[in-house]
Structure 1
Amino acid sequence: MLPGKGVLAQAITAVAVVVAVTGGVALAAPPAEAPRATPAEATGVPDAARARAHFEQGVALLGASDWAAALGEFLLSRRFYPTPKATNNAAVCLRELGRFDEALEMVESLLAEFPALSPEMRIAAESEAERLRDLVGAVAIEGAEPGATLLVDGRRRGELPLRAPLRLDAGSHRIRVVKEGLEPFEATVEVEPRRTARLDLRPRAIASARGGSEPGIERRGGAPAQERDPRAPERSARSRFTIELAGAALVTPTFGGAIAGACGEGCSRSPGLGGYAAVRGGVRLAPWLGVGLALGYLAAHQTVSGRATAIQPVGLAPRPGTADDMLKLRGVLAGAWAGVTIGERPSLHLRLGAGALAGSIGDRRTGTFSSRAESSYRVGPVGDAPSATFACLAPEVRVGVRAGGHVELTAGIEGLLLVGLSRPRWRATRLVDAAEDGAATFAGDDLAGRVLLGFAPGVGASYAF
């Protein structure tokens, strides 16, 4: 919101929006009939009525804090017939949308296009321009191919060469220069308030590795410099190495198998819950394409209660009963990934990982079973944790925002599809204490299904070198 814009708005007579000194925006009481252009304004200006209609619609949208839609109406009003009111309100909307560079240009337009502004209005506008300059810098692009299109953070900002340095909000910006038939140039630029960053696209001379000079080649510092085509992206932008740390909650509907998957009448089970952490390293092959390797660890557990089963005492008939099982999956994930990135500020990352999980599935079991004397006895807790190996496929969607020139913070969800390469089973030869029935064993049941499905919503942070 424009600091000081309360004074500016009050100074514009009959303006439909009053901006409070405290920073709030409120609609003034509407006049009995819509504001009309003065006779001087209306004379020979067929578009004055259309400008007024768009202005009034913008005021209504401004009152609803619909800044983007209001901005569109005020800009249309200015296109048909520019007035101080529409110009001021457009600047208010741009400031609320965080587009400080454009807000500054709009305030400067207010000062330049309306020399008859009252002294109070002009002082307020000049003061606001100074405040906005503390939030805005510029970038000067030199040596670009004439007619090339300039894009900043994915938005088209004109054709090169520019008449003057391009104003931008302070911070990190992705600069892209494209022209049909030429390879695009791309780089990240840090813009500081009230300062101008310079981006030189002119070709750099190179030194011959053989020590001789050729046209367009020169030696710098006694060592060969790297040849660079000014129409190609900077090498750091095309193949930037990244490292990422990510953490997520892990949810799986069921472990499946003969334990969780056979929970029928009288049995209850919880969903599988746990956590997942990973570190990923990658290289960007293009501004939109990356590949890399990943290493992670996951752990999850699922509780099954009241499962009908039986225990087998040695030399005796099976004893029916119920068991409670705490299933635990643990393992190390390793694999590779490939992904695409769409957009900038924020960016959408789509990634697919593939690899393997090596670990174990454990079962901590207690139970109650009938004895020979028609009484019952408890068994356990007893446990087993056979090794388990799975192939893994992991699609992922993430949204990222930059927290500086090299750091990006992300949030998203990853799917885990685990396909068993081994069959983790309870060891049927494992002896357990069955009270008066002596030693006994449990059946060699599968502790997990052949396919496990999980979901991992989480956050992460990456650093680009």
Structure 2
Amino acid sequence: MVGRAARYPGLQPASPNPDPPCVVSADDGGMTVRRAERVRSFYSRSLAGWILALGLLASGARAAPPAASGKAPQTAVSGDEAEARAHFETGVAHFDKQEYREALEAFRRSLWLKKNRNSMGYIASCLKQLGQYDEALEQYEEMRREYPSLPAKMEAIVAADMAELSGLVGTLTVAGDAPAGASLFVDARLRGKLPLEKPLRVSAGRRAVRVEKEGFAPLTMSVQVTAGKENVAELVAKSRKGRLVVSEKHNWVLHVELDGQEVGVTPWQGLVDLGEHQVRLHGFMGVEALAACDAPAMAAKEGAKVASSVETARVSLYEETRVVLGAEEQDTSLRVESTPEGATVRVDSKVVGKAPWEGRLPLGEHEIEVSASGFYSAKQAVQLERRKQRQLSVSLERQLDRKPPKIALDASASFLLAPTLGGDVARCSGGCSGSLVLGGAAFLGGAYEFGSGIGFGVELGALFATQQIEERSAELLPVGYQVPLSGTASDALRLGGLLAGVTVGYHVEQRFPLLFRLGAGALIGQMRDEREGRFRTTAGEWFDTPPAATFSSAPYAYLAPEGRLGARVAEHFEVSASLKMLLLVALDQPRWDPTIEIPAASDGIGIYRPDSVMGGIVLMIAPGVSLRHDF
């Protein structure tokens, strides 16, 4: 037997090649990095290693040696083995000439005829020399699965090559407009169907990604794959369409109405915008064809009118949506009139419009229901016959104990009265005196009221309130002193702000209408406190402080129960006397600003304590008048 080592002395190529053709400056799909030294090293090691492996381990791929004298000849090889051996020899010859693509084809033919590890190794080596690193790595993995116990020298070669190849590949996932069931091609190689079960392993460099789905334009893009990293191909469809297929369940040829526009006849299909579409069929059928349930070859221009109900079809990107509609004979019509006009008309429990209403319906019996707010509903069965028009007039009976809903608008103005605005400043003792809280409020509101009188609405308003507190006990803190100066202070308080809230109420229609209502919302206000005082210095001298003012935000939640007693002044107008209580609950109490400096005579500069200038809970009473209009 002629060994591979004898054919290639020194286990090296017959003539050293300093720069094999396969290691010219590679593009790698956009990469311009020259790997000559690394690939030259690979070429020498990989090629020599495989030759060594083949010389030592693959003698079975060569012709059997001549039989010894006096011994029976060995059994002849089969035709497939001989052909596989011939392709293998051809592949080796191309490989030695660095004709790797031709060698790859020959080795693959040999492997198809007879599986052996030598052909698999040569295939992986050819793929690597051709820059198809991902396929080379896959070939090595398949080889290991088929031959898990490789000889030590061959295993070392394979392990080294796989380690190098792992640094030349990355992973690729497909995202974006990736239609399910589409075929994925990377560099014209089919890699599977979408969605992928796991990321693909591909060679580093610029890769051409193409996604194809039957009936749709392909999606293409170029992706720069970085070795050792997960790369994402974010597909973007230029045409954001889906396919809609419409047919009639009896195979009748009818006109297809898509979103109110006629687009063709059944069976129909086309690319449409994404989202929901309204589909309906209509047309004519010959009476004989109807009776025989025949499916005509083309749409009829006259005969019995047939139509389907409207169906909503939801179309998704690059997906096919099928709609099958059943048309029914509608060669008859019905007109419904009502008293009062505008009543809701239902046909077989489905709302079809407002009276007066006219439309075509399938032949047979239908239940017609007419209803209106404040009236008893009326139902009637109607039998429709071919080519006959029916007219139905319905007079509804008013529900005397029920009234129609209405919308009410009102405006009100009130005085505000309260004993105090509360807070630390309202704590009077000794000679302190405080006035009543006086002010005013105004509201505008609107509500939707049911016939029962219960209504829900919104209101907007504004208020102001003032209070005067005289000669209350107070302290002034001189800067740099431990002991405060004692004395008295007078505060002029003023609250102002806007209110917004919701209401629920009950309105009673009678000779003198009543309204009970509860409002709830928020007050966005401001509290002004103008203060002056008289204090004694540490030396015992009395002095007056000049007026100083602080402005503090006053956010409060409010509840406003209200009662009204009114009188009708016109058909839709009502004037009322009202009494409202306004309960304010502080969200953040307003306080005096302690950064305001106050002259303290011989003691220099002082400050007031950050006392609250309004209480946490304040209750006010608001008597007033209101004007209401309903329609």
- TM-score after normalising by structure 2: 0.38
Q: Which residue of 1 aligns with 2:570?
A: 404
Of 217, 240, 243, 2:406 maps to: 240
Of 435, 440, 443, 1:275 maps to: 440
Aligned-pair distance for 1:435? 3.4
Residues 250 and 274, structure 1, Cα contact 8 Å, conserved in 2: yes
1:436 paired with 2:602, answer: yes
1:392 paired with 2:541, answer: no
For residues 454 and 227 of structure 1, the distance between their equivalents in structure 2, rounded to whole angstroms, comes to 55
For residues 266 and 378 of structure 1, the distance between their equivalents in structure 2, rounded to whole angstroms, comes to 18
> Secondary structure in 1 aligned to 2:531?
strand
Residues 306 and 323, structure 1, Cα contact 8 Å, conserved in 2: yes
Residue type of the alignment partner of 1:208: W
* Larger Rg, first or second structure (1 or 2): 2
For residues 341 and 431 of structure 1, the distance between their equivalents in structure 2, rounded to whole angstroms, comes to 55
Residues 339 and 394, structure 2, Cα contact 8 Å, conserved in 1: no
For residues 601 and 470 of structure 2, the distance between their equivalents in structure 1, rounded to whole angstroms, comes to 21
For residues 400 and 529 of structure 2, the distance between their equivalents in structure 1, rounded to whole angstroms, comes to 55
For residues 414 and 271 of structure 1, the distance between their equivalents in structure 2, rounded to whole angstroms, comes to 18
Residues 439 and 465, structure 2, Cα contact 8 Å, conserved in 1: yes
| Residues 368-416 of structure 1, C-alpha deviations (whole Å, 9 max, x = no match) | 1112432211112111121111111111111011110111101120001
Of 616, 620, 627, 1:450 maps to: 616
Of 385, 389, 398, 1:231 maps to: 398
Residue type of the alignment partner of 2:461: G
The 3 A distance-change label for structure 1 pair 426 and 217 is: closer
Residues 300 and 328, structure 1, Cα contact 8 Å, conserved in 2: yes
The 3 A distance-change label for structure 1 pair 371 and 250 is: same
1:299 paired with 2:467, answer: no
The 3 A distance-change label for structure 1 pair 215 and 324 is: same
Q: Share of identical aligned residues, percent?
A: 36
> Secondary structure in 2 aligned to 1:238?
coil
| Residues 165-213 of structure 1, C-alpha deviations (whole Å, 9 max, x = no match) | xxxxxxxxxxxxxxxxxxxxxxxxxxxxxxxxxxxx9555823375669
For residues 209 and 273 of structure 1, the distance between their equivalents in structure 2, rounded to whole angstroms, comes to 64
> Secondary structure in 1 aligned to 2:424?
coil
Of 348, 356, 376, 1:207 maps to: 356
For residues 525 and 400 of structure 2, the distance between their equivalents in structure 1, rounded to whole angstroms, comes to 43
Q: Which residue of 2 aligns with 1:322?
A: 488
For residues 361 and 434 of structure 1, the distance between their equivalents in structure 2, rounded to whole angstroms, comes to 25
- TM-score after normalising by structure 1: 0.51
1:350 paired with 2:516, answer: yes
| Structure 2: gaps of 5 or more residues | 1-337, 344-354, 371-392
Residue type of the alignment partner of 1:382: A
> Secondary structure in 2 aligned to 1:385?
strand
Q: Which residue of 2 aligns with 1:416?
A: 582
| Residues 325-362 of structure 1, C-alpha deviations (whole Å, 9 max, x = no match) | 01111111110111112341211111111111111122
> Secondary structure in 1 aligned to 2:562?
strand
Q: Which residue of 1 aligns with 2:477?
A: 312
Residue type of the alignment partner of 2:569: A
Residues 448 and 457, structure 2, Cα contact 8 Å, conserved in 1: yes
Q: Which residue of 1 aligns with 2:168?
A: none
Matches within 5 A, 1:154-173: none
For residues 358 and 472 of structure 2, the distance between their equivalents in structure 1, rounded to whole angstroms, comes to 76
> Secondary structure in 2 aligned to 1:457?
strand
Residues 537 and 600, structure 2, Cα contact 8 Å, conserved in 1: no
> Secondary structure in 2 aligned to 1:259?
helix
Residue type of the alignment partner of 1:327: L
For residues 419 and 289 of structure 1, the distance between their equivalents in structure 2, rounded to whole angstroms, comes to 27
For residues 448 and 227 of structure 1, the distance between their equivalents in structure 2, rounded to whole angstroms, comes to 65
Q: Root-mean-square deviation (CA), in Å?
A: 2.9
Deviates more, 1:374-383 or 1:306-315: 374-383
Residues 208 and 217, structure 1, Cα contact 8 Å, conserved in 2: no
Aligned-pair distance for 1:289? 1.4
Point out which structure has higher relative CO (alpha carbons under 8 A, 6+ apart): 1
| Residues 245-300 of structure 1, C-alpha deviations (whole Å, 9 max, x = no match) | 1000000111111011x111211101111001000111112242111100001110
For residues 452 and 358 of structure 1, the distance between their equivalents in structure 2, rounded to whole angstroms, comes to 15
Q: Which residue of 2 aligns with 1:266?
A: 431
1:251 paired with 2:417, answer: yes
For residues 229 and 400 of structure 1, the distance between their equivalents in structure 2, rounded to whole angstroms, comes to 33
> Secondary structure in 1 aligned to 2:450?
strand
| Structure 1: gaps of 5 or more residues | 1-200, 219-225
For residues 359 and 369 of structure 1, the distance between their equivalents in structure 2, rounded to whole angstroms, comes to 32
For residues 209 and 436 of structure 1, the distance between their equivalents in structure 2, rounded to whole angstroms, comes to 96
The 3 A distance-change label for structure 1 pair 285 and 343 is: closer
Residues 475 and 486, structure 2, Cα contact 8 Å, conserved in 1: yes
